[in-house]
Structure 1
Amino acid sequence: MDHYVTAHSSEVHYAPRFVSLLQNFPGCFRRDLVSGHITGSAWVVSPALDQVVLLHHKKLSKWLQPGGHADGEEDVLKVAAKELEEETGLGDYKWLTKDIFDIDIHLIPERGNEPVHFHYDIRFIAMAEASAPLVVSNESRDVRWVSLSSVTAEAGFEESILRMVKKTHKLKESLT
């Protein structure tokens, strides 16, 4: 995390909070750290970088990228892979890089016995064929490939999703 560099102002503000969590809370990879904990996500793009996988999360009622709790696993790339496979059914994908693609800290509302807390989400970028079939998990209402130009129509104006869309556009420009 000390080496993560970004040009996005929100991420610049998140980085010191991640470092503080990692340095001061050895249990930050477990969800029982009530104040907040590490999660891992995958931003899955098509080879043309014109589509992404989004799922409609049942509990949060939002369109999001696949991801979830570390549950004690400190290899967050492994967490992102597990969540990607469980939440989409995708098995045939590749990581574009094993470096962090994006970071985000977001508030999770109180639900049942679970108090309000923060998810410190570490995100990686993966690629899969847009023709790859997707499977809806029991944690989601839907999962689908969405054109990059339609993400706001599906996911709204969620800042972190829009930031990853911008990063994908920038990546596409750098490859052309």
Structure 2
Amino acid sequence: MGIRQMLADYSPFNAQEEKDRELMLRYLDQFDDLFRRENEFAHFTASSWVVNRERTKVLMVYHNIYQSWAWMGGHMDGETDFLATAIRETKEETGVEQVTSLSQELFSLEILSVDGHDKNGKQVGTHVHLNLTYLLEADEMQQTSIKPDENSAVAWMGLDEALAKCSEPYMRIIYAKLNDKLNRMQ
């Protein structure tokens, strides 16, 4: 299924998702290549909200650029399989070897602003991520490891603890939404 159909079929959870879906569809009409970061205004990314089997904890990384506890995710870099990207990024950023998608369906969507920053000695301009999020599950007993060029810690934490430890105000709102959606599933 193509991105346009996936977005058209998605049922927004709240006003934020409704507006962001509308904008994503509009951007698809206005921009040639939203699947590569070479589009310096906006590009698609995929993220994961990784929970334990009991759905009481979430796996987070301490992100070096943002100096905050965060979910895992990354750029599509020309790929069009969002779920595969979310799983790949989760494994790369946390070191977990086994992670399972709880659904092939999109769990959440959001447009996220990214402030300009230096990455590996190169300036990255302010832009937005057109982000699609998937709900994944992993065994919290698996060994984890950091990805030194991106994060400096990996930890399981309670759902509320993940909100408290996140230092980015808008991301706390997004993570609260994800927790709310998770809790409504149970």
Same fold (TM over 0.5): yes
Identify the residue that residue 38 of structure 2 maps to in structure 1: 32
How far residue 114 of structure 1 moved from its aligned partner, in angstroms, is: 1.2
The answer on 1:108 being equivalent to 2:119 is: no
Q: Using the alignment, how far apart are the partners of 2:53 and 2:102 within structure 1?
A: 10
Over the residues paired in the alignment, what is the CA RMSD in angstroms? 1.3
State the AA in 1 paired with 2:105.
Answer: D
Corresponding residue of 1:133: 143
Please tell me the residue identity of whatever aligns with 2:84.
K
Counting only pairs closer than 5 Å after superposition, residues 65-144 of structure 1 correspond to structure 2 as 65-112=71-118, 113-138=123-148, 139-144=150-155
Q: 1:45, CA displacement in angstroms? A: 0.5
How far apart, CA to CA, are the structure 2 residues paired with 1:7 and 1:121? 15
CA distance, structure 2, for counterparts of residue 54 and residue 136 of structure 1: 11
The secondary structure found in structure 1 opposite 2:141 is coil
- Unaligned 5+ runs, structure 2: 1-6
Question: Match of 1:91, as an amino acid?
Answer: E
For the Cα contact (< 8 Å) 1:64–1:161, is it kept in 2?
Answer: no
Q: What is the rounded CA distance, in whole Å, between the counterparts of 1:152 and 1:66 in structure 2?
A: 15
User: Secondary structure of 2:124's partner?
Assistant: coil
Q: SS where residue 2 of structure 1 aligns?
A: helix
Match for residue 49 of structure 1?
Answer: 55
Corresponding residue pairs, total = 172
Residue of 175, 178, 181 corresponding to 1:161 = 175
2:53 is paired with a residue of what secondary structure?
Answer: coil
The SS at the match of 1:54 is: strand
Residue identity in the other structure for 1:4: Y
- Which is worse superposed, 24-33 or 95-104? 24-33
The residue type paired with residue 40 of structure 2 is V
**Distance between the aligned counterparts of 2:156 and 2:16, measured in 1?**
26
How many angstroms apart in 1 are the aligned matches of 2:154 and 2:182?
20
Q: Which runs of 4+ in 1 moved over 4 A?
A: none
Counting aligned pairs with the same residue, the percent is 24
TM-score normalized with structure 1 length: 0.92
Question: What is the CA–CA distance in structure 1 between the aligned matches of 2:20 and 2:139, rounded to whole Å?
Answer: 32
Gaps of 5+ in 1: none
